[in-house]
Structure 1
Amino acid sequence: MDVEPDATVWKSLLGACRMHKELEMGEMAAKELFELEPKNSMPYVMLSNLYSAAGRWEDAAKIRKLMKCRGISKEPGSSWTQANGKTHTFVSEDRSHPMIDEVIALIKEAGYVPDMSFVLHDMEREGKELGLAYHSEKLALAFGLLVVPSGAVIRIYKNLRVCGDCHTAFKYISSLYDRHIVLRDSNCFHHFVDGKCSCGDYW
């Protein structure tokens, strides 16, 4: 580059490293961001995710410990949608939703396979699958399927970046339920129609 890369450039590179599982380059980008934005949780979380995806659980735990030592906390993930003039908010791990299990079972029959690389903690497979199933954006979408009339767009908002597993699940759901789903995450708008997303699977 002709100019010194700023934090935005390093964040973009780190995001691409997560997408392409480029661990070594991701470590380099994260370390640059630790210097440029020492209180930003994003590079810590992304690097921890990279380690988790590579099965390097001890390194992922070290990054989380480093965050704690430096007094940096990750913003809790939440999603929300509107129905009948009210805003309904969802947080991950809420096991009270009545429809999510049915939705997950249906998309599994159609070929969906949970992507374990997006699980952040080392545990048995069943626990990993449950953790992925109860992400806040999936809960908001299951609720939307119940309350948003057929033919109307289901609109969901998320305070963080959508995970790759949820992104894949949304594509299956848009096709199987014949719904147009709009998800606004912290990076961009995703329009899911007929099993495809407007981002072209790269965001």
Structure 2
Amino acid sequence: MPFDPTAPMWGSLLGSCRVHGNVELAEVAAGNLFEIEPGNAATYVMLSNTYAAGRQWEGVASTRKLLKENDGVMKKERGKSWVEIKDKVHTFMAGERKHPRIMEILLELKRGVYKPDAGYELHDVEQGKKLELLKHHSEKLAVCFGLMSLPEGIPIRIMKNLRICGDCHSFMKSVSSVESREIIVRDTNRFHHFWNGHCSCNDFW
């Protein structure tokens, strides 16, 4: 390349390493990202997921240790998603409790048969708590509210302030198939168009 790779380029390479199971190259990409963006927690998450996908549990443990050691310099932006219903924007935070219809939304989540993958949750808590944290990611809450509020056949469009996690990505594919609903998620990286159990990114983002 005639110029130095940028953080998004290294991030794209790191993301592809998980898809293709290339741990060695993932470590190179993550190492460069640690230098360019030392406070970006997403790098630790993607590297840990790459180790976990390859069942390299020592790598997962070391990444978690690094994350904990650098806790003081991390940019901890809380996950937030928006969905527009009848010209009104509804905002959901991760672990939302203030929305007037939050209890209905949580019941809608429980109604589904989707099983969360705790491997995508890096908080140092026990397994059951990890699953609860994953269930309440903001985009999951937003899509459930969209299912409750929009007529059948109307696409659900969600905006998110962070990169969609792998578990939420799988959740969206599942919902689009079971509910026969088009779901569009715009995260910090790209648009994801979910339909009939598939995403336009082909699981590469």
When normalised by structure 1's length, the TM-score is 0.81
1:160 counterpart letter in structure 2: L
Whole-Å separation in 2 of the counterparts to 1:82 and 1:10:
33
Q: Matched residue pairs, number? A: 198
C-alpha contact 1:23 1:51 (8 A) present in aligned 2: yes
Shift in Å at residue 39 of structure 1? 4.6
Residue in structure 2 matched with residue 99 of structure 1 by the alignment = 105
Give the CA RMSD over aligned residues: 2.6
Confirm whether residue 61 of structure 1 aligns to residue 61 of structure 2. no
When normalised by structure 2's length, the TM-score is 0.80
Residues 43 and 175 (structure 1 numbering): CA distance in 2 closer, same or farther, change over 3 Å?
A: closer
Shift in Å at residue 157 of structure 1? 0.8
C-alpha offsets along residues 136-173 of structure 1, whole Å, 9 cap, x if unaligned?
Answer: 10000011111112221111111111112111111221
Residue in structure 2 matched with residue 128 of structure 1 by the alignment = 130
Extract unaligned runs of 5+ from structure 2: none
Shift in Å at residue 91 of structure 1? 1.3
Whole-Å separation in 2 of the counterparts to 1:47 and 1:179:
32
C-alpha offsets along residues 9-40 of structure 1, whole Å, 9 cap, x if unaligned?
Answer: 32211122233454443222121122233454
Confirm whether residue 192 of structure 1 aligns to residue 194 of structure 2. yes
Residue in structure 1 matched with residue 31 of structure 2 by the alignment = 31
Other structure's SS at 1:192 match: strand
C-alpha offsets along residues 49-85 of structure 1, whole Å, 9 cap, x if unaligned?
Answer: 545665456423322233334x232321111111122
Residues 104 and 197 (structure 1 numbering): CA distance in 2 closer, same or farther, change over 3 Å?
A: farther
Other structure's SS at 1:142 match: helix
Whole-Å separation in 1 of the counterparts to 2:117 and 2:18:
14
Extract unaligned runs of 5+ from structure 1: none
Between the aligned residues of both structures, percent identity stands at 46
Other structure's SS at 1:187 match: coil
